[in-house]
Amino acid sequence: MTALPAKKIAFADVASNRKRGGDVRAMLTSKTVGATSGFMGVAVLEPGEFVSEHYHPYSEEFIYVVSGLLVMRIDDEPVHLAPGEGLVVPKNARHRLMNVGDERAEVVFHLGPLAPRPDLGHVDTEPYPAEVANAGGTPA
């Protein structure tokens, strides 16, 4: 017998988080399904959109590209990603994801293990996209 009952979550049922850029939705989490070992979500990035640089001190991040052309910058080294490709971002590696194509990009991500508290899961290392836009800058 399993500890957690199976629970289905739809993309449309999860609030969008645009703080770090794009449309990021943490779908299968401790809050939504009682997950205890990690969480899974989906990110949608329009052309030119990016998720600002950050790192995870407790988690590895696994990325799978569903559609679009992306560049994941890991510790300042670019990794080009296309549909059907996956990538693991090591714990403590600074990373930033950008849609470099002409079409919408969709990515599935999973992080694990969980940080001891949600506020310890991400450490931001650059301004959020809205802060860059308000300062009149352009994404790097």
- Each residue's pLDDT tens digit, 17-39: 999 999 999 999 999 999 999 99
CA distances to 93, 105, 120 from 116, in Å: 18, 31, 7
66, two tokens: 């569903």
- Each residue's pLDDT tens digit, 59-86: 999 999 999 999 999 999 999 999 999 9
Domains of the chain: 15-134 (2.60.120.10)
139: confidence class by pLDDT, cuts 50, 70, 90: low
- Each residue's pLDDT tens digit, 34-58: 999 999 999 999 999 999 999 999 9
AA letter at 51: V
Nearest to 88 by CA among 72, 104, 106, 77: 72
